[in-house]
């Protein structure tokens, strides 16, 4: 789809590469100025330059979304530079997989919760007052199908992504009066730099894709298309919703499975 996002400012967390990068580029291709946030300075600046080459404004801000002080500073930088924020995509996320519940480390739990859940809360809180002033804004939280259905050996990631979905709902309830839409996207298996190893191993790929009716992982651009829709005026009457983009994975889910 195409949308007119000209004169709008977007920030996408964790957007140096992967799904975040795809979303950032998609928003820019449709006219938005896009702020890139990531801890990876080199790749983040590269993505920001790609956006400038598309003809829209961009800047890179290195900040840990799990650190409220760094997030507050990032928000100040963005508002000072662009004067507004119209679209916030809380994409940054990490996860430790393959560890039984009883062996799961507290450090891994806290790291995952810090970025996946706290980061979503901190960034939304930091920018929402500006959206309230504008009486309009779009917040899009990236969750996961694992936040909707149970998957073994994903303790913190599954808990954090489920919490993101309910956080999305409560934000939608409270912020609708200010013209702010808050929605989530729950991607299924997606082929990125971080997940490529899954699909390079034939046995692992077959096991993962056996639960996907479409028999392939999503492309990052397909998740970006969902984000573009939710960021557009066409989605002005949608809030508190979780848009599942999973090739039918959750529709076909009938038993436990393992993911690497």
Query: Which among 157, 178, 237, 253 is annotated as catalytic?
Result: 157
3-state DSSP helix/strand/coil % of the chain, to nearest 5: 50, 15, 35
Distance (Å, whole) CA 206 – CA 210 = 6
Q: Sketch out the chain's domains with CATH numbers.
A: 9-245 (3.40.50.720)
Q: What are the tokens at 182?
A: 């808050």
Q: Is 153 exposed, middle or buried (0-12, 13-18, 19+ CB in 10 A)?
A: middle
Catalogue the E-assigned strands of the chain: 9-12, 33-38, 58-62, 87-90, 137-142, 180-187, 242-245
- Residue 64 Cα distances to 38, 57, 72, 125, 138, angstroms: 7, 22, 11, 15, 22
Please give the span between the terminal C-alpha atoms of the chain, in angstroms, as a whole number: 33
What DSSP string describes 134-165?
A: HT-EEEEEE--GGGTS--BT-HHHHHHHHHHH
Q: Is residue 157 annotated as a catalytic residue, yes or no?
A: yes
Q: What's phi and psi for 75, nearest 5 deg?
A: -60, -40
* Predicted pLDDT of residue 253: 64
CB atoms under 10 Å from CB of 98, counted, come to 10
pLDDT of residue 142: 98
* Whole-number pLDDT of residue 97: 83
Answer whether 72's CB lies under 8 Å from 126's CB.
yes
The model's pTM is: 0.95
Per-residue model confidence as pLDDT tens for the chain (260 residues): 899 999 999 999 999 999 999 999 999 999 999 999 999 999 999 999 999 999 999 999 999 999 999 999 999 999 999 999 999 999 999 988 889 999 999 999 999 999 999 999 999 999 999 999 999 999 999 999 999 998 889 999 999 999 999 999 999 999 999 999 999 999 999 999 888 888 888 888 998 888 899 999 999 999 999 999 999 999 999 999 999 999 999 987 654 444 44
Residues 6 or more apart whose CB falls under 8 angstroms from that of 136 comprise: 86, 179, 180
What is d(CA 93, CA 163) in angstroms, rounded to the nearest whole number? Answer: 13
Closest by CA position to 9, among listed 98, 70, 84: 84
CA distance 12 to 90: 6
């Amino acid at each position: 789809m195409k949308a007119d996002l000209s004169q709008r400012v977007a920030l996408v967390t964790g957007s140096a590469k992967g799904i975040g990068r795809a979303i950032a580029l998609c928003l820019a291709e449709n006219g938005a100025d896009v702020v890139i946030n990531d801890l990876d300075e080199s790749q983040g600046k590269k993505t920001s330059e790609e956006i400038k080459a598309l003809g829209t404004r961009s800047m890179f801000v290195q900040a840990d979304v799990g650190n409220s002080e760094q997030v507050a500073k990032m928000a100040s930088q963005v508002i000072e530079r662009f004067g507004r924020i119209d679209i916030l995509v809380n994409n940054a996320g990490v996860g430790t997989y393959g560890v039984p519940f009883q062996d799961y480390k507290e450090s891994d739990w806290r790291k995952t919760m810090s970025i996946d859940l706290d980061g979503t809360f901190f960034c939304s809180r930091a920018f929402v007052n500006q959206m309230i002033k504008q009486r309009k804004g779009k917040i899009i939280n990236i969750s996961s199908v694992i936040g909707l259905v149970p998957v073994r050996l994903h303790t913190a990631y599954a808990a954090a992504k489920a919490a993101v979905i309910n956080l999305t709902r409560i934000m939608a309830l409270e912020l609708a009066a200010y013209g702010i839409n808050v929605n989530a996207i729950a991607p299924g298996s997606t082929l990125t730099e971080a997940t490529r190893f899954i699909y390079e191993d034939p046995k692992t790929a077959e096991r993962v894709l056996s639960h996907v009716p479409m028999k392939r992982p999503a492309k990052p651009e397909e998740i970006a298309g969902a984000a573009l829709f939710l960021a557009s005026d066409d989605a002005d009457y949608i809030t508190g919703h979780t848009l599942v983009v999973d090739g039918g994975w959750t529709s076909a889910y009938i038993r436990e499975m393992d993911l690497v």
